[in-house]
A and B are shown apart, each in its own frame.
Chain A
Amino acid sequence: MKEDSDDTMRKRRISLVDGRYLIFYTFDREDASSEANVGEQPPAPERLPQREENSRV
């Protein structure tokens, strides 16, 4: 059985010998350029003050 979920992802569903299903997902190549720009770090904060509570055992 074949089902399409989105433009570049393909699903192929099979039955295993014990009746369970297994689905292979495959992907067409696409331009991965995106709005994604992860890795940006926030400005380094000031050093945290030491707190007595932190020495709790």
Chain B
Amino acid sequence: MSELRWNPLLGEWVATAAQRQDRTFLPPEDFCPLCPTETGGFPTEVPESDYDIVVFENRFPSLRSNPEIPAVEATDLYPVRPAQGVCEVIVYSPNHNSSLARESVEQIYKLVRVWTDRFRELGSLDFVDYVFIFENKGEQIGVTLHHPHGQIYAYPFIPPRIERELEQATEHRCRTGRCLFCDVIVEERRERRRIVAENNSFIAIVPFFSRWPYETHIYSTRHFQSLTDMSSGEQKDLAAVLKVVLAAFDKLFNISFPYMMCMHQRPVDDGSYDHYHFHIEFYPPLRTANKLKYLAGSETGAGMFINDTLPEEKAAELRSHVEPVAWVEAKNG
């Protein structure tokens, strides 16, 4: 059963999705459900022997387009609503042992275009107010499948983190007349020490206010709100800056670096969000090669993060691993 239960203490929705307890958990490589289905072999989620990028509805969704009737009754204090929405899985590559960092920049560019298409399509559904594109990578984050993939949740409301960013952006716009995120870019360019990489369309930084040791944000340098506002040149630049940042992550400790990747875009309800600004936030859980940053009492119980590192130093570490991106197909014509 699945439903949305209102938390009156925080003013936010919680999804109960007990069926997800039974989802596939770290299967052996021979039984990976995201690999292509080989002739005569184990039938995976993808019923063909090869593919480029595939998207499918999650088999264990917390939100459904045709949700069940809630199993509990709502009260004045505890509103309940059907868990309506969409949960998609997006498989980046047929190669089980790859990762987004190891994929070519051409493949990442394809992924950017698929993300754009999913944002457009899911954003057009009348019951969807927010399309959230994200990736959980690494067992440290709790992934249950190693095959390179991300997820998309199409929510029937604007989630709380985005609401709070929108409120801050609105307050800043009212007070200064400017975009909050554009001002962050100006400040980071003035300081320069927290910049990891930059190209014609995007800038990657370990922000002044990082909560995680290697937290990295990618901001579009032009003011726009979503994937669908991008030119093809900007899509290519996004692919390139992602490749640079992800490759630098992996080189830090010579491991496949775990992270949460969260794309922040405008809501898709009918509101006006000109003051918002497209960006991607990475939250890596490692603080050293073998030590995790835990979300403990202060972070979880009070909401105040304690970062045991200096963003300026972590940016320098990442910057030392930045290498130019090679577009193979461009070279080969």
B232 at the interface (CB under 8 A from A): yes
How many angstroms between the C-alpha atoms of A6 and B236 in the bound complex? Answer: 15
Please tell me if the beta carbons of B113 and A9 are within 8 angstroms of each other in the complex.
yes
**Which residues does A use to contact B, with CB under 8 Å?**
5-6, 9, 11, 14, 16, 18, 20-27, 29-45, 48, 51, 54, 56
**Which residues does B use to contact A, with CB under 8 Å?**
45-48, 51-57, 59, 105-106, 109-110, 113-114, 117, 120, 192-193, 195, 197-202, 232-233, 236-237, 239-241, 243-244, 308-310, 312-313, 316, 319, 322-325, 327-330, 333
Please tell me if the beta carbons of A26 and B52 are within 8 angstroms of each other in the complex.
yes
Please tell me if the beta carbons of B236 and A40 are within 8 angstroms of each other in the complex.
no
Q: Is the interface of A mostly helix, strand, loop or mixed?
A: loop
Please tell me if the beta carbons of B200 and A37 are within 8 angstroms of each other in the complex.
yes
Please tell me if the beta carbons of B57 and A21 are within 8 angstroms of each other in the complex.
yes
Q: What's the least CB distance linking B137 to chain A, in Å?
A: 21
Q: What's the least CB distance linking B321 to chain A, in Å?
A: 10
Known: A20-B57, A22-B54, A22-B56. A32 touches B310 (CB 8 A): no
Smallest CB gap from A48: residue in B:
B312
Q: What's the least CB distance linking A57 to chain B, in Å?
A: 8
How many angstroms between the C-alpha atoms of A51 and B310 in the bound complex? Answer: 10
- A residues within 8 A CB of B328? 32
Known: A20-B57, A22-B56, A23-B54. A36 touches B308 (CB 8 A): no
